[in-house]
Amino acid sequence: MRSFTYERANDIAAATQAASQPGASYIAGGTNLLDLMKVDVERPRHLVDISRLPLRDVVETPDGGLSIGALVSNAGLAADSRVRRRYPVLAQALLAGASAQLRNQATTAGNLLQRTRCPYFYDVSMPCNKRQPGSGCSALGGYNRMHAILGASDACIAVHPSDMAVAMTALQAEVEIHTPSDTTRRTPIAELHRLPGQTPEHDTTLAPGELITAVILPPPPPGRQIYRKVRDRASFAFALVSLAAILDVRDGKVQTARLAMGGVAHKPWTPKTAERALVGAAAQADSFKEAGQAAVHNAVGRPHTAFKIALAQRLVMRTLGDLAAGG
């Protein structure tokens, strides 16, 4: 591990000022950053510790939603009775991630900002455009079973690893951001993460020094909610394909549908074509099959990832069927 300097921020404004300097990074739970520092992928020259900032509360909003502080732990959020009752898709996604020990330490904002688990990104001996822009993407011609089938580019086929981000995308959450100029802005969570394009080194739309202070959940949407994660083993494994689904069925027809997919793209993927196909359709197998096909209609499979296309299609179809049947 390389040497670095350290400071503990006493307030939000001081934290953003310190972190806006070249080579500075925030640290809270450290469950991803410290691992990356140990393998020489992340090389911060200065760490700004925000773990003591007053951002650990989950509070009701006037419209009936929730404001989740950036430092609320994954375990604490999953156990919150309001989340479990009103946003079960989020509680399920949180419990599907990592291990109990990591969930105790990991924070809400840190979960959103964790970096890809692509093995070539972690291996500093291998070319990686995300780690070293312009060096190439080793995953394109390598073993890429865990990689993207949607929204990828010739510069990067890595996927975003967060389960929580997928559920929050389906819930249409907003992210509250404090800037180094001491102002606050909100952005839809769907606009927080980026597709790789030709600049895969930029994971998000955050500017240097900007700090996520809260995630705002709108009032619970109508219908049933579920998070499903297909992975190689039952725990502590990242998604091959995952799905956050919210389906409102009345009188045998789909009134509203929200879908977000994980494990398939550089950001949580919202298959808008599939959502539109569902609205007004009969809640039956043919409609759900059509939605599954629409969800992956632009997918690109490679020798090791082609299986994900059929897997994602079946996951959408089966999950929607179970929700419509009352599962």
pLDDT tens digits along 240-276: 999 999 999 999 999 999 999 999 999 999 999 999 9
- Residue range 150-177: mean pLDDT, rounded: 98
Contact present, 281 and 254 (Cβ < 8 Å) = yes
- CA-CA distance, 92 to 208, in Å (whole number)? 32
Q: Is the pLDDT of residue 164 over 90?
A: yes
Give the helix ranges, DSSP H, for the chain: 12-19, 33-38, 74-79, 81-86, 88-95, 100-105, 108-113, 119-122, 164-170, 272-278, 285-295, 307-324
- pLDDT tens per residue across span 46-55: 999 999 999 9
- pLDDT tens per residue across span 16-62: 999 999 999 999 999 999 999 999 999 999 999 999 999 999 999 99
**What pTM, to 2 d.p., does this model score?**
0.97
Residue 301 structure tokens? 């499979």
pLDDT given for residue 1 in this prediction: 75
Burial of 85 (0-12, 13-18, 19+ CB in 10 A): exposed
- CA-CA distance, 238 to 87, in Å (whole number)? 22
- Residue range 271-293: mean pLDDT, rounded: 98
Give the closest residue to 73 by CA, choosing from 87, 47, 94. 94
The per-residue b/e assignment along 293-316, b for 16 or more CB within 10 angstroms, e otherwise, is: ebbbeebeebeebeebbebbbebb
DSSP state of 319: H
Q: Is the pLDDT of residue 300 over 90?
A: yes
- Residue range 284-309: mean pLDDT, rounded: 97
Which pLDDT band holds residue 235 (cuts at 50, 70, 90)? confident
- Residue range 113-130: mean pLDDT, rounded: 98
- pLDDT tens per residue across span 76-94: 999 999 999 999 999 999 9
3-class SS at 300?
Answer: coil
- pLDDT tens per residue across span 141-163: 999 999 999 999 999 999 999 99
Contact present, 260 and 183 (Cβ < 8 Å) = no
Q: How many CB atoms lie within 10 A of CB 44?
A: 19
- Residue range 300-315: mean pLDDT, rounded: 97
Across the beta sheet with 224-230, the strand order is 224-230, 241-250, 253-262
- Residue range 109-138: mean pLDDT, rounded: 98
Q: How many CB atoms lie within 10 A of CB 241?
A: 25
pLDDT given for residue 327 in this prediction: 61
